[in-house]
Structure 1
């Protein structure tokens, strides 16, 4: 029962935040909503028994790409960043309460999941173990992913890294150019 509730919560957060994200005009807030979408998608990957993909999603997209996008945004758009700081001048501003609510909800879900997992194994993991669909460390999945990433998919991997580096260099150039005038 709780697994279904968590799944629908993750799905609702992912879809609802995606709709808000694409309709938002403020780029800084859209980037933070993108952060929430990526975490919700990682939660959905866990329910699909794709733990490696979920961890990769968090480490690479949230930890790398999103931080790079925020860094590039903060270097390139100083006026919009000043507007964001001016909009929340006191503690009881609406974005502070929204952030506090989301943080407390995440804390509650994490605490509940940790307590439930200590008591008994979730039903979907037990069902996967009985069906024989659990990936074991002897399957060498990570090794196969590494081989494919460095052989078959090397060109797309390098193109994406060059594209991200160009975005960072462009943001740094715009920030330096804005400081000289």
Structure 2
């Protein structure tokens, strides 16, 4: 059952992401982005990163995506005219430049999988020998909180300032120009 769920989340994430980058309709792309984010949260659960999965849902799905939906709805009416039916173009390849990049990433992933199948890395072997491996019963949320508030306070605050700057920039771009 776990394998079926993992592959379902993986196929859902990859399929939705492929459709997302190909759509010209912003409203449909936002809803596909919603599906991609949820599928990634499911994949994070399989990687034993429960805190990252919950954060993915709360911050990105609950905050950023809703903010993007509101920005779309409050934007000018030219974007709303883009909701026309594009049923004839399921996967049009007008952006052929992406094909070499995708093939390169695929080859890199296949090389990584091949190398992983040959022998695990030395740091993984040392971690298993020292007993530093993460199990499904570990509580890593407490450790992440301690790290955020001790060792990584400065990067955490810098990221929050960047997010605030992005929100200010988004609100500046979305406001309507007033003519005098």
The interval holding the TM-score normalised by the smaller chain is: 0.5 to 0.7
Match of 1:14 in 2: 13
Match of 1:98 in 2: none
Q: Secondary structure at the match of 2:39?
A: helix
- Alpha-carbon offset, residue 80 of structure 1: 3.3
Match of 1:46 in 2: 45
Report the TM-score, using the length of structure 2 for normalisation: 0.63
Is the 1:21–1:34 Cα contact (8 Å) retained in structure 2?
yes
| Higher RCO structure, 1 or 2 (CA under 8 Å, sep 6+) | 1
Match of 2:23 in 1: 24
Q: Secondary structure at the match of 2:17?
A: helix
- Alpha-carbon offset, residue 36 of structure 1: 0.4
The two structures, once aligned, show a CA RMSD in angstroms of 2.6
- Alpha-carbon offset, residue 156 of structure 1: 2.6
- Alpha-carbon offset, residue 25 of structure 1: 0.3
C-alpha change, 1:5 and 1:152, in structure 2 (3 Å) is same
Count residues in correspondence: 132
Report the TM-score, using the length of structure 1 for normalisation: 0.63
Is the 1:149–1:157 Cα contact (8 Å) retained in structure 2?
no
Richer in helix (by share): 1
- Alpha-carbon offset, residue 142 of structure 1: 2.1
- Alpha-carbon offset, residue 28 of structure 1: 1.2
CA distance in 1, matches of 2:141, 2:27: 43
Match of 2:107 in 1: none
**Which blocks of at least 5 consecutive residues in structure 1 are unaligned?**
88-130
Matches within 5 A, 1:74-113: 74-81=73-80, 84=83
**Which blocks of at least 5 consecutive residues in structure 2 are unaligned?**
86-132
C-alpha change, 1:158 and 1:149, in structure 2 (3 Å) is farther
CA distance in 1, matches of 2:18, 2:5: 20
User: In the alignment, is residue 151 of structure 1 matched against residue 122 of structure 2?
Assistant: no
- Alpha-carbon offset, residue 161 of structure 1: 2.2
Match of 1:169 in 2: 172
